[in-house]
Amino acid sequence: MTDAADRIQDLISSNDVVLYMKGTKEMPQCGFSSRVAGVLNYMGVDFADVNVLADDAIREGVKAFSDWPTIPQLYVKGEFVGGCDIITEMTLSGELDQLFDDKGVAYDKDAADKIREANG
């Protein structure tokens, strides 16, 4: 493994939820990253955010690590879940709630329901 891959593996192993994104959860720097961080923040999920714009090795490394060409990338309990479109779809279908339930990740069920009601 490369140094970047080791750093990615360490981070996703030591945090339940990790979002590789452009910018930070407080200040996203692209619409797709903003959407995923917004969903997680709104649902009250405790997650580690990694600003790929601050580290080219991680920015390229995470794409190779997941074999996924775009940012953002969400990891839950060490597993790659998907990017913006997949997370949006999973949020609206309830699959993200199910994943969090299955993996023991705390989130606000009412907030998740509100997202679905607003987009239903």
Binding-site residues, in ranges, read 30
Contact indicator for 59, 36 with CB cutoff of 8 Å? no
3-class DSSP state of 55: coil
Describe the crossing of helices 84-93 and 95-103 by its angle, rounded to 10 degrees: 90
Binding residues for [2Fe-2S] cluster: 30
Q: Which single residue is written with the structure tokens 């493994």?
A: 1
